[in-house]
Structure 1
Amino acid sequence: MLKTVLKSSAVAALLAVTPLAAVAQEYTLRATANSNEDDEDYDGLIVFKNYVENASNGAIAVELFIGTQLCSQPEECMQGVADGTIDIYIATSSGAANIFPYVQVLDLPYLMSDDRVAEAVLANDSAFVDLLQQKVMEDSGGAMRLMTVGNTGGWRNFANTERQVKQPSDLEGLKLRTVVADLPQELVKALGASPTPIPWPELFTSLQTKVVEGTANGITDIMNMKFPDAGLKYLTLDGHSYMGAMWFMNNEKFMAMSPELRTVVSDGFYQLQQATFASPKRKSIQAYEDFVAGGGDIYVPSPEEKAAFKEAADPVYEWFKSNVDGGQEAFDALTASVSEAEAAIDAARAADTQ
């Protein structure tokens, strides 16, 4: 009996979307992600498409373009959103930094301690995300909206081909791959390693040929790209940054919709965000197992060792606040939201464990 009730409740939950009255298709949203179908971005888009098409009762169709069918470089894709040739695009902070430099605040290391804190800070009702949304709207001249901030790969950790890394000094002298953006390069330099900008598609060969000896990525990306086959063996779970990703939408397309349809799209992005929060947690389980089974070495820093990494990275905060347009404001908003989230979570944990 209980199983029947639970099953019925589950079905009811799936059908809890209240669709609009039946209407003909009015809008088509062209959404793109420069990734593949194994990626968290794709998982989020599938959830978004299913929710929006059903909740709008067919008034909105969502077309997915995974890979480089519509655009290949972040600048090109972002321009497409501004122009309206692309309706929805996901960008990492480094991909959006040329247009919105302050979004690099998402890459600042060791500011968010775990998933629970990160997900609270990146919630759309947080003061931090509200600030980013306002600035994106203003700085794009009203052309682009930041709809939500999700996750694209879990937590970024240091990995290399040469040795186990337990403390910052173990990174000294290693050539670490970074993206072209300044902030990741400043972090690598602060930790004593040598930053080497390498395009993502070239990283496997660069590791294999020793052009670089390490990188900073999430475990799902490491395994999806088969980096252990290129010699990547040592992984340190320092979790220095949560791999936040921003979902942008053309504002004219959004505002052309009725208030009811705008609500559907907004709720769809909430569903997408939750899917991208959950996806890396599940996928990382098997990814870690496969990494170790292939001969990989995983090291978990002690609290004292992690504090040493954070201390070594301190100069990056001052660099960001002093050198990035809007950096001080973004830093203050992020750290304030982190403090608020930590206080609320600590109180909830205390209540839950009485």
Structure 2
Amino acid sequence: MFTKTKINNVVAAALIGTSVLLGCIGQAHAAEFNLRAVANSNETDEDYDGLVVFKDYVESHSNGKIGVDIYMGTQLCGNGVECLETLEAGSIDVYISTSGGAASMFPYLQVLDLPYILPNDRVAEKVLEGDFPRVLRKQILKDSGNSVRLMTIGNTGGWRNFANTKHTVKTPADLKGMKIRTIVADLPQQLVRAMGASPTPIPWGDLFTSFQTGVVDGSKNGITDIMGMKFTDAGLKYLTLDGHAYMSALWFMNNDVFEKMPKDLRKVMVDGFVALQQATFASPKRKSIQAYKDFAKAGGKLYVPTPEEKAQFKDAAKPVYAWFEKNVKNGDEWYNQLNNAANKAEAEIKAEDAKDLN
């Protein structure tokens, strides 16, 4: 259960005052609702692409009744916990987090990081456009005292894959004994252990040097992050597209602000987040094209596992599911919810293909 932590009025006022001094992207609006939207990333990220689409949509379709100011980076809040508390306090209105970034408040969000449940973009997108996020929304509202509202789930960076400095990885056995960088979180560390490797938490800013010096042998990253950080220059040359996790982006809104809007503007907000979701689905696909070209140019070796090899990865990951069900409240129910949604999406896609292929 999430215990609400309110930021005191002094801090909240200071944050608002700081936002005025630091400025933001976009002009002040003579609007009925001025929204402060925050992403702890930069303007090359999918989060920014989504916010630009969202801002344009809601401002134009509300005839200026809604204004959106975009704050990239950490000028208003620095991490998932701090930003969600700031959103709860009403000092910001919209915030994007990974599941890991929000898991300390809402542990069941780790279900989105369970490996190999979502097999590809088409299935993942159908699941995230369906009812599963609505189930999460209901639980998050309950656990936050009706103050934090999940608006949509998009993507931030494509897929997590295993990459390393040693050799081509075709099966889990090829990862045995490697030191793989993870974040300081239980679930990704459980996955690395399940593959026979050693999880090694390393700050993101130290990872380049850690590859160079052999502190770690590999990581779990998407191709755009790998090339954005020029990890190939540090020796990260082997990438296996096992696709163990879809890099979900959870977009939250202060529920009090949402509920204060008249119904027509709430409809604009919902549609705006759908437009944002579609933009973040598309952005990593486009950006990955050049990233894969750059990876190959830098001497990178790409490997796509066969269906049989992919099955070996999924089988090796079974202890991760057991850990989740044991350590997260109602973990078995959350696992079944997502797994059933994925199976339903695959069946629908199969039926669609049968119509389109004939």
Structure 1 residue matching 2:317: 3-state secondary structure: helix
Partner of 1:19 in structure 2? none
Tell me if 1:251 matches 2:227. Answer: no
The runs of 5 or more residues in structure 2 that have no matched partner are: 1-28
Question: What are the Cα deviations for residues 64-102 of structure 1, in whole angstroms up to 9, with x where unaligned?
Answer: 111111111211111111111111111101100000000
Matched to 1:65, the amino acid is Y
Distance 1:72 1:181 in 2: 18
Distance 2:77 2:205 in 1: 15
Question: What are the Cα deviations for residues 12-60 of structure 1, in whole angstroms up to 9, with x where unaligned?
Answer: xxxxxxxxxxx95111111111111111111000000010110111111
Post-superposition offset of 1:199 = 2.3
Residue among 209, 221, 224 paired with 1:220: 224
What TM-score comes out, normalization by structure 2 length?
A: 0.90
Tell me if 1:146 matches 2:150. Answer: yes
Q: Is the 8 A contact 1:90 1:247 kept in 2?
A: yes
Matched to 1:286, the amino acid is Q
Aligned pairs for 1:1-40 (under 5 A) are: 25-40=31-46
Aligned pairs for 1:187-226 (under 5 A) are: 187-226=191-230
Matched to 1:165, the amino acid is V
Identity %: 63
Residue among 19, 36, 42 paired with 2:48: 42
Residue among 78, 81, 88 paired with 1:72: 78
Aligned pairs for 1:185-334 (under 5 A) are: 185-334=189-338
Residue among 94, 98, 108 paired with 1:92: 98
What TM-score comes out, normalization by structure 1 length?
A: 0.91
Post-superposition offset of 1:341 = 0.6
Structure 1 residue matching 2:311: 3-state secondary structure: helix
Question: What are the Cα deviations for residues 265-313 of structure 1, in whole angstroms up to 9, with x where unaligned?
Answer: 1110000000000011111111000000010011111111111111111
* Root mean square deviation of aligned Cα: 1.1
Distance 2:222 2:278 in 1: 18
Of 66-75 and 149-158, more deviation after overlay is shown by 66-75
Distance 2:91 2:200 in 1: 34
Partner of 1:335 in structure 2? 339
Structure 1 residue matching 2:92: 3-state secondary structure: coil
Residue among 83, 107, 124 paired with 1:118: 124
Post-superposition offset of 1:201 = 2.5
The runs of 5 or more residues in structure 1 that have no matched partner are: 1-22
Matched to 2:120, the amino acid is D
Matched to 2:252, the amino acid is F
Distance 1:271 1:201 in 2: 32
Q: Is the 8 A contact 1:101 1:326 kept in 2?
A: no
Tell me if 1:109 matches 2:115. Answer: yes
Q: How many residues align?
A: 330
